[in-house]
């Protein structure tokens, strides 16, 4: 597939553990495009809030901190790495503690403003595949192709549980499911940039699908888009 001249943006939004990050990362890898995991950016910010001992209710301090915090993402041989003020925090962003803190942190308007600015800057660097909650609705409403990725709660809880088990984290499946349900409610009910399907997004239910099938489906849509762009 030959990439078109103008920068293309593909967004994958959806609830926690729906498979959107894995799909987005692999699609970007196949195409040689940039991959932007925006959940990792909000998680990195939450790591700094926890390290500083800032209370999750203290939105003013969190907002002030965000204005002077530098978040960077770098792709390496071992995967995507996220840095806060130059320090690699990749290994710390997927703990249960960060899972709980990221909800309140990502709702602070100054945090979202800083992250959205950075996300749009990154999109100027090349073709982009990005995943999050508001990428197709708020950050890139003009994206060429949008997906809304869902999966049953059982599927999502099981996926996140397996990930955590691999990391050696001792959690129960029930606790993981309860946590995901709580985050779903929080992500979709918040005032600022809530999780919702963009009107022009393609719905992708990954419940019964393998990762290869998800990647293949997204790639077929992108192939069609590129052919249409080239025919213009």
Binding-site ranges for ligand DC (CB under 6 A): 16, 38-39, 42-43, 102-103, 106, 132-135, 183, 187
**16 CB neighbour count, 10 Å cutoff:** 24
| Shortest distance (Å) from residue 49 CB to ligand DC | 13
Closest CB to ligand DC among 42 and 148?
42
Q: Which of 114, 106, 107, 105 is nearest to 54 (CA)?
A: 105
**DSSP bridge partners of 203:** 148
Alpha-carbon gap, residue 220 to 39, rounded angstroms: 25
Q: Give the nearest distance from C-beta 211 to ligand DC in angstroms.
A: 16
The least distance separating ligand DC from the CB of residue 61, rounded to whole angstroms, comes to: 19
Minimum CB separation of residue 107 from ligand DC in Å reads 8
Angle 109-123/96-106 helices, nearest 10 degrees? Answer: 100
Nearer to ligand DC, 16 or 49 (CB): 16
Q: Are 154 and 211 in contact (CB under 8 A)?
A: no
Q: Which is nearer to ligand DC, 134 or 144 (CB)?
A: 134
Q: Choose between 54 and 180: whose C-beta lies nearer to ligand DC.
A: 180
End-to-end Cα distance, the chain:
16
What's the maximum distance between 2 C-alpha atoms anywhere in the chain?
55
Nearer to ligand DC, 101 or 226 (CB): 101
Report the nearest approach of ligand DC to the CB of residue 224 (Å): 26
Nearest CA to 162 out of 148, 183, 151, 177 is that of 177
Give the number of other Cβ atoms within 10 Å of residue 91's Cβ. Answer: 10
């Amino acid at each position: 597939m030959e990439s078109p001249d103008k920068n293309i943006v593909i967004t994958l939004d959806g609830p926690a553990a729906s498979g959107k990050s894995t799909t987005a990362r692999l699609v970007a890898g196949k195409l040689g495009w940039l991959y932007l995991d925006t959940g990792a950016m909000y998680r990195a910010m939450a790591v700094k809030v926890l390290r500083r001992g800032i209370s999750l209710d203290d939105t003013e301090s969190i907002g002030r901190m965000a204005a002077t915090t530098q978040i960077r993402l770098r792709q390496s041989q071992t995967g995507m790495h996220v840095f806060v003020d130059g320090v690699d925090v990749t290994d710390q962003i997927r703990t249960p503690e960060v899972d709980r803190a990221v909800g309140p942190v990502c709702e602070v308007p100054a945090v979202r403003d800083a992250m959205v600015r950075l996300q749009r800057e990154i999109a100027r660097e090349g073709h982009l595949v990005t995943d999050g909650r508001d990428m197709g609705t708020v950050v890139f409403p003009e994206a060429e192709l949008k997906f809304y990725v869902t999966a049953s709660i059982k599927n999502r809880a099981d996926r996140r549980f397996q990930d955590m088990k691999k990391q050696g984290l001792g959690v129960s499946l029930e606790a993981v499911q309860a946590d995901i349900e709580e985050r779903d409610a929080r992500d979709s009910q918040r005032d600022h940039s809530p999780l919702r399907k963009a009107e022009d997004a393609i719905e992708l239910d990954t419940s019964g699908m393998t990762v290869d099938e998800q990647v293949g489906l997204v790639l077929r849509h992108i192939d069609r888009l590129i052919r249409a762009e080239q025919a213009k």
